[in-house]
Amino acid sequence: MSKTTTRRANAVAAAPEKAASTDWLRIAAIGLSIVGILVAGYMSWAELTGGETVCLDAGSIDCAAVQESAYAETLGIPVAVMGLLGYIAILAVLILEDQVPFFAVYGRALVIGFTLFGVLFSLYLTLIEATVLELWCQWCVISAILITALLIIGVYRWYRMIQPLRA
């Protein structure tokens, strides 16, 4: 057996050990997804029921004005509901990664895809808050931070998965 083949075989054999050592990242991502569900769920509840959210009373922070703006809906769907569905989808993939073969193979890539879309959409909405509305929603900012953290963890988990294959 050649030296390269032996090294690859050893890397693939060691992959489960490395995966087990980084399982805390999956747990962290599950935790962040749950927090995202709570934040987006709260915002969705407020949007769908017409309720007001608890918001800091500080200068340009005005959750009600952001929620009532024209940018609070996309294609007739409240942005908060879209966020809620996104966080639920991410959580489902993370939970099913070790239970369904499809998600074991493609789960990390799906999480990256979902979170990348979420980060780009959050970036767009954050730019709208900063430049058009000149108002901020603390819950929107928290959600943007959560989805960005999920993307970073997702990319790192994917990198760790393919690292042994590159050896």
Strands (E), 29-151: 73-74, 77-78
Residue 55 token pair? 């918001």
The interaxial angle of helices 23-49 and 79-96, nearest 10 deg, is 150
Domains and CATH numbers, the chain: 3-166 (1.20.1440.130)
No. of helices (H) and no. of strands (E), the chain: 6, 2
Local confidence pLDDT in tens for the 167 residues of the chain: 555 444 544 444 445 555 455 589 999 999 999 999 999 999 999 999 988 889 887 788 988 889 999 999 999 999 999 999 999 999 999 999 999 999 999 999 999 999 999 999 999 999 999 999 999 999 999 999 999 999 999 999 999 888 887 76
The pTM (predicted TM-score) of the whole model is 0.84
